[in-house]
Amino acid sequence: MEKRVFFKGWKLPLLLVTPQLIISAVFFFYPSGQAIWNSLFLPDPFGLKTEFVGLDNFRFLLSDSYYLASFKTTIIFSVAVTISSMLIGLYLAALADRLIKGSGVYQTLLIWPYAIAPAIAGVLWLFLFNGNIGLVSWYLKGLGYEWNHNLDGDQAMFLVVLASAWGRISYNFLFFFAGLQAIPKSILEAAAIDGASFWKRFMSVVIPLLSPITFFLLVVNIVYAFFDTFGVIHTITSGGPEQSTTILVYKVFSDGFVSQDLGSSAAQSVILLILVGVLTVIQFKYIERKVHY
Amino acid sequence: MVEKKKTAYWMTHLGLICGVVLIFFPVWVAFVGSTVSQDDIIYPPLPLLPGPHLIDNYANALFRGGPEGYAGASQVPVIRMLMNSAIMAFGIAIGKIIISLLSAFAFVYFRFPFRKTAFWLIFITLMLPVEVRIYPTYEVVANLGLLNSYAGLIFPLIASATATFLFRQFFMTIPDEMVEAARMDGCKPMRFFFDILIPISKTNLAAIFVIMFLFGWNQFLYPMLLTTDPNMKTIVMAVDSMIPAGDDYAHWPTVFASAILAMLPPIIIIISMQKFFVKGLLESDK
């Protein structure tokens, strides 16, 4: 779609796009290019020179059991965060949608965690489950369950999923709620008159109508779990114990900045870049087709 | 709606209240933690009602950065870090709005050489989250001598086209008659931009402002890498650094007071600008 009417001249518009082009060039294209370029080199241990190794960094990564384990961790983590936060978000949205009055109040009460930085959310949950003084772990101990996410990889994973999903419920709630509000009440009333129970109406009328939003949220939440949860992981587990919560983005950071393994870190960035690229293309393709029931 | 049964009505409220409680719980605990003494916290369980030390703890955190000898005790007052976060968040929000308004205006209302190329170059930035290019960006900022500076915290994060995309979408919906009328009256492009386009984009501006402010305020990884000077830390990083690593001790009342202070500005913005926030969120990701 293009405007039919526009202003004349070419100097002014070029001037107008210049600031954004310069910032994109300096802070986006150059660093991204560098990441790709670095991924083809291997610096020697003293950092004196680098050697061109072609795709060796990638070959090494794809046969590195730690990297493959991190891949698996990322998938488990993202699926768990996405599914749990979407289900709770949908559940709350469906309830709020049933109300004639007061749903606005609940919206206000439910959306504000979106404002909380993942790193802060991490700190809050870290305290609740702190092995010595945490409130939840103290009660768990009372029930005879020993909590120590510093030693137990599964508990650590559970905790980072919980903290990440918690902050994400608001977002999913908001989108599902908007989607539900947009469904014409007449359709639901027609189904009710035909004798469909609430559950039946929900499954066979509401869910199909929500499918475009659901798909969109699926992609966005996966991207969130891949990248924006860095703060949660860093504050709660720093990737441990024994790398059991090292998701891909965390590994880029710990290999690059902590271990100074720049070639490998750059190659990991490129792999992530490809993953995001694929997700974005899927999202755009889908939105362009605007599949709707 | 369809059901009007009493029990169903109360069950709905009950379900929602459970959700609200679940969501409030960690924040409530943090609030309680910010009103009690260190001893109340390190000898569990923590009480569930606020204690008497609210003013002490907040004053301590805000103006003294907490007591000495604990993890992250750089003795930098939290108020300083709140200011850093505010400068960063406002800088990112305003910077992004300015550059994207200008370029969206150019893309929609002009035809110029390399328009397609420029458009493509800007929009590809939508695809890559900052986390993917951390190290090279760190190097660029270092080479420009911008480590430990506000410019270094702000500029790398405005290099994304989300806002441009949104403004472009919005400008497309403005009827062509507006420009036609303006041109007929001999209105120059920039005059049209300032006197017509910006006033009718007010709600969109507010929406994008809220989203970008939150994005800026809640940054963690970037500021952590770009700042080594304790005086340049942002509040979100500061709270993280107060948590013990290894054998250090955390001064929990300070941690909680700082965490609450770190959450407060974005929460106030979300709630007071809820209408714009919801609009911005629902539109920005589509």
With a cut of 70, say whether residue B246 has pLDDT above it. no
Q: What pLDDT sits at residue A238?
A: 85
Q: What pLDDT sits at residue A259?
A: 78
The mean pLDDT value for B96-113 works out to 91
Residue A269 near residue A252, CB atoms below 8 Å:
yes
Are B267 and A115 a contacting pair at CB < 8 A? yes
Q: What pLDDT sits at residue B72?
A: 64
Cβ contacts below 8 Å, chain A against chain B, sum to: 308
Q: What pLDDT sits at residue B166?
A: 84
Tell me whether A128 touches chain B (CB under 8 Å): yes
Residue B167 near residue B204, CB atoms below 8 Å:
yes
Q: Which of residues 46-85 of A touch B (CB under 8 A)?
A: none
Task: Annotate B154-182 with b (16+ C-beta within 10 A) or e (fewer).
Answer: bbbbbbbbbbbbbbbbbbeebeeeebeeb
Tell me whether A133 touches chain B (CB under 8 Å): yes
Cα(A271)–Cα(A249) distance, rounded to whole angstroms?
11
With a cut of 60, say whether residue B247 has pLDDT above it. no
What average pLDDT does the structure give for chain A?
85
Task: At A283, list the tokens.
Answer: 């999202």
With a cut of 60, say whether residue B286 has pLDDT above it. no
With a cut of 70, say whether residue B213 has pLDDT above it. yes
Of B42, B231, B81, B14, which is closest to residue A95 (Cα–Cα)? B14
Q: What pLDDT sits at residue A287?
A: 60
Q: What pLDDT sits at residue A53?
A: 80
Task: At B242, list the tokens.
Answer: 């107060």
**How far lies A67's CA from each of A243, A270, B131, B180, B282, in Å?**
10, 14, 18, 58, 36
Domains in chain B: boundaries: 78-284
Of A239, A223, A270, which is closest to residue A70 (Cα–Cα)? A239
Task: At A272, list the tokens.
Answer: 């992530």
Among A44-53, A158-167, B73-82, name the most confident range.
A158-167
Instruction: Give residue-wise pLDDT tens across range A95-143.
Output: 998 887 888 888 889 988 889 999 999 999 998 998 778 888 888 888 8
| Cβ-nearest to A112 among B161, B240, B270 | B270
Residue A234 near residue A250, CB atoms below 8 Å:
yes
Tell me whether A105 touches chain B (CB under 8 Å): no
Task: At A143, list the tokens.
Answer: 């029930």
A76 versus A52: the higher-pLDDT residue is A76
Q: Of the ranges A279-283, B23-27, B102-106, B114-118, which one carries the lowest mean pLDDT score?
A: A279-283
Question: Cis omega (within 30 of 0) on the bond before B67?
Answer: no
| Percent of chain B topping pLDDT 70 | 92
With a cut of 60, say whether residue B3 has pLDDT above it. no
Q: Helix (H, G, I), strand (E, B), or coil: what is residue B74?
A: coil
Q: What pLDDT sits at residue A151?
A: 83
A89 vs chain B: nearest CA distance in angstroms? 9
- CATH homologous superfamily of B78-284: MetI-like (1.10.3720.10)
Cα(B122)–Cα(B223) distance, rounded to whole angstroms?
24
Confidence of residue A289 (pLDDT cuts 50, 70, 90): low
Q: What pLDDT sits at residue A291?
A: 43
| Cβ-nearest to B3 among A24, A118, A198 | A198
Specify the CATH class of A66-289 in words: mainly alpha
Residue A226 near residue A276, CB atoms below 8 Å:
yes
Q: What pLDDT sits at residue B259?
A: 93
In terms of residues, how long is chain A?
293
Domains in chain A: boundaries: 66-289
The mean pLDDT value for A263-292 works out to 75
Q: What pLDDT sits at residue A243?
A: 85
Cα(A164)–Cα(A126) distance, rounded to whole angstroms?
12
Instruction: Give residue-wise pLDDT tens across range B249-281.
Output: 788 888 899 999 999 999 999 889 888 888 777
Cα(A255)–Cα(B132) distance, rounded to whole angstroms?
13
